[in-house]
Amino acid sequence: MSNKKQRIGEYLLEKGFLSQVALETALEEQKVTHERIGLILVRNQCISRQQLLDAILYLNPDAIQGEQYITGRVPAERLIESQTMIVAEKPDAIYMATMESEAQARIELQPFYPEAPLVFVAANPEQIESYLDDLKSMSSSEDSLVDKLLRRAFTEEASDIHIIPRYNSYSVFYRVMGVRHHRHEGPLDEYNTLCARLKDLARMDLAERRIPQDGAFSTEFNGKLVDLRVAALPINNAEYLVLRLLDPSRVQPSLSGLGISRVEEWRKGVSRPDGLALICGPTGSGKTTTLNASLKELDRYGSAIFTAEDPVEYRLPYLGQMSANPAVGLDFARAIRAFMRSDPDIIVLGELRDSETARNAIKSAETGHLTIGTLHTGSIKGAVQRLRDLGVPSNELTYVLRVVMVQRLLRTVCTHCHGEGCPVCKGTGYGGRTVVSEVQYFPDETAVQRLFNEEGWWPTLLDDALLKLEQGITNEKEVIRVFGEEARGRITGRFGGY
């Protein structure tokens, strides 16, 4: 079969990016929705957008002209002046379409992509004009402040937006790769308008400013729907707003892409048909990303998987995902009792936060179900102690504990400038984040008993961070930022300082 005639689904299947059952299910969905198979596969999180682009370029490069991508790398005014549209960004090439001179566009735009060549493709002029109109609206003074803040946050790949009222003004910070950056300062009347609009979108009580409130809404960006979770906190007769941006395309499709050093230990634990698997770490340590990457590797078609979350952050097709709602009495403990009556194979709990939930999780693990949960602890030994504090007897835990992973996130050095700062990393010196972890699989009761006896035979979080420092993945400053003075002492002792 020639490349031109081969279907995308067949190609992805041959490459091992897709299972037969996933493809067959997507094809059945296509018969109902009449959408492109690639769109369905990406939406169902069976493949990544990057894998889809690779397939398109291999099978029919001309089809790439149907794509478009809004990026924060190139200033909007540069694209507007050169009448150029970004079609796709790939590590080995940047695809563009222009209505002006390709040579001139290359001169103007190549400096923003020093790591890869620019490839110009044909495109419909109407599509380019529509793309440029979107860019103009992003920078237009007539566009709403909410739209401007959100679009900039999306292009900078921020995970959170903090809106903080002050004495005579208000500040907006974006959290990018775990660090907050100041992005906007405005007058209080602007803050009042912005706050009211966000609360209205999130369906909060506009008149209530005395108690914390939570809400959510969705918006579209780069052709995909992004969910936003909003929290309003009463401070000093005003409200501190935090928006969490839940972009499903930023969740790694595979555990292998997260940087977990001993990921096979984790895979052994979640491959078992029953027992308890724990992902631990503080807020913002990437637990949800690891959990979702794990669920994508499990059989979402042949196994019944139910999750209880607070709230559901990333929707995964073919799972039963339930958001906790204490206002109506739906907590984690009640959710797990309901799951047990619903023919489950795998039960996932967003957090083991109270005694009843923890005990029910143990019962679930004891009765033949793989149960995956998260805990806010900083070590494997701490996870066991936390379960004991929640009333789980050691003798019950002995027979069900399968694997524990504790993780944090470290920024990685930009591979293009090696930390010096360049357009690729926007001058930060960092190109992304990686998981640092301690993870151990417990194959039997004897191994669990060793854990109870305070033995530790696995690399710790800091050991893993120092390994990544030695490999040049991160730098000394970042390790000390995350781990503090303990890291400084270990770095001096191990490397003699830098």
Distance CA 125, CA 127 (A): 5
Q: Is the pLDDT of residue 328 over 70?
A: yes
| DSSP assigned state of 250 | G
Confidence (pLDDT) at 290 = 93
Residue 189: which pLDDT band, with cuts at 50, 70 and 90? very high
Q: 85 in a domain, yes or no?
A: no
Task: Give the separation between CA 479 and CA 413, rounded to whole angstroms.
Answer: 12
Q: With CA atoms as reference, report the closest residue to 439 among 294, 322, 315, 338.
A: 294
Residues 382 and 267 in one domain: yes
> Half-sphere exposure of residue 37, counting CA atoms within 13 Å on the CB side?
18
Residues 282 and 420 in one domain: yes
On whether both 427 and 297 belong to a single domain, the answer is: yes
Using alpha carbons, select from 259, 217, 219 the residue that is nearest to residue 409.
Answer: 259
Kindly state whether residue 351 falls inside one of the protein's structural domains.
yes
More confident residue, 316 or 199: 199
90 is a domain residue: no
Answer yes or no: are the C-beta atoms of 97 and 65 closer than 8 Å. yes
Mean pLDDT of the chain: 89
Q: What is the pLDDT of residue 2?
A: 40
| Same-domain check for residues 256 and 236 | no
With contact defined as beta carbons under 8 Å apart, do 93 and 56 qualify? no
Query: Is residue 226 within 8 Å of residue 219, measured between CB atoms?
Result: yes
Token pair in block for residue 337: 């009792």
Domain tally, the chain: 3
CATH number at residue 269: 3.40.50.300
For residues 390 and 223, which has the higher predicted lDDT (pLDDT)? 390
Query: 26 or 136: whose pLDDT is higher?
Result: 26
Residues 297 and 370 both lie in one domain: yes
SS3 253: coil
Q: At 258, phi and psi to the nearest 5?
A: -95, -15
Q: Are residues 51 and 38 in the same domain?
A: yes
Provide the pLDDT confidence category of residue 140 given band limits of 50, 70 and 90.
low
Could you tell me which residues come within 8 angstroms of residue 379 by beta carbon, excluding any fewer than 6 positions away? 280, 406, 438, 460, 461
List the one residue out of 136, 135, 181 whose CA is nearest residue 157.
Answer: 181
pLDDT in tens, 19-34: 999 999 999 999 999 9
CB hemisphere CA count around 434 (13 angstroms): 27
Q: Are residues 277 and 411 in the same domain?
A: yes
Higher pLDDT, 498 or 467: 467
Taking 80 as the threshold, does the pLDDT of residue 293 lie above it? yes
Exposure string for 297-328, b = 16+ CB within 10 A, e = fewer: ebebeeebbbbbbbebbbebbebbbbebeeee
Question: How high is the pLDDT of residue 50?
Answer: 84
> Which of 248, 275, 302 lies at the terminal end of a domain, its last residue?
248
pLDDT attached to residue 282: 92
Q: Worst-scoring range by mean pLDDT, 369-373, 386-390, 485-489?
A: 485-489
State yes or no: pLDDT of 162 exceeds 70: yes
Distance CA 268, CA 38 (A): 31
Inter-residue contact 371 to 382 (CB < 8 Å)? no
DSSP 209-231: -SS-EEEEEEEEETTEEEEEEEE
> Which pLDDT score is estimated for 108?
92
Residues 6+ apart with CB under 8 A from 390: 352, 354, 355, 357, 358, 359
Q: Which segment of 65-69, 430-434, 436-440 scores lowest on mean pLDDT?
A: 65-69
pLDDT at 122 over 50: yes
In a domain, 93, yes or no: no
Q: Are 384 and 278 in contact (CB under 8 A)?
A: no
Same domain, 314 and 285: yes
SS3 content of the chain, % helix, strand, coil (to 5): 40, 25, 35
pLDDT above 80 (res 76):
yes
Picking from 194-208, 216-230, 444-458, which range would have the lowest pLDDT averaged per residue? 216-230
Which pLDDT value is given to residue 411?
95
Q: How many residues does the chain have?
A: 498
> Are residues 212 and 233 in contact, defined by beta-carbon separation less than 8 angstroms?
yes
According to the model, what pLDDT value does residue 223 have?
64
| C-beta of residue 58 within 8 angstroms of C-beta of residue 51 | no
Residue pointed to by tokens 């222009």 = 98
322 and 284 together in one domain: yes
Nearest CA-CA partner of 292 in 258, 333, 269, 341? 258
369 in the same domain as 294: yes
pLDDT, mean of residues 341-361 = 92
443 has pLDDT over 60: yes
* Distances 56 to 13, 46, 152, 253 between C-alpha atoms, Å: 14, 16, 29, 19
Residue 413 lies in a domain: yes
What is the predicted pLDDT for the residue at 439? Answer: 97
Helices 476-483 + 461-470 axis angle, to 10:
170
Q: Residue 320 is part of which domain span?
A: 251-459
What's the confidence (pLDDT) of residue 4?
Answer: 39
Same domain for 220 and 284?
Answer: no
Domain boundary among 229, 248, 267: 248
d(CA 362, CA 396): 7
**C-alpha–C-alpha distance, residues 344 and 342, integer Å:** 6
Report in angstroms the alpha-carbon separations of 13 from 6, 41, 297, 299, 301: 11, 12, 15, 16, 16
Residue 402 has pLDDT above 90, yes or no: yes
Q: Is 143 helix (H, G, I), strand (E, B) or coil?
A: coil
Whether 478 is in a domain gets the answer no
- Under the banding of pLDDT at 50, 70 and 90, the label for residue 222 is confident
Amino acid 1: pLDDT: 38
Domain with 225 in it: what CATH number? 3.30.450.90
Asked whether the predicted pLDDT for residue 227 surpasses 50, the reply is yes
Same domain, 196 and 261: no
| Higher pLDDT pick, 211 / 71 | 211
What does the pLDDT read at residue 182?
96
Q: How confident is the model at residue 123 (pLDDT cuts 50, 70, 90)?
A: confident
What token pair was written down for 178?
Answer: 């775990």
Each residue of 472-485: b (16+ CB within 10 Å) or e?
A: ebbbbebbbebbee
pLDDT-above-70 percentage for the chain: 95
Segment 309-324 shows an average pLDDT of 87
In a domain, 52, yes or no: yes
- Answer whether residue 134 is part of any domain: no
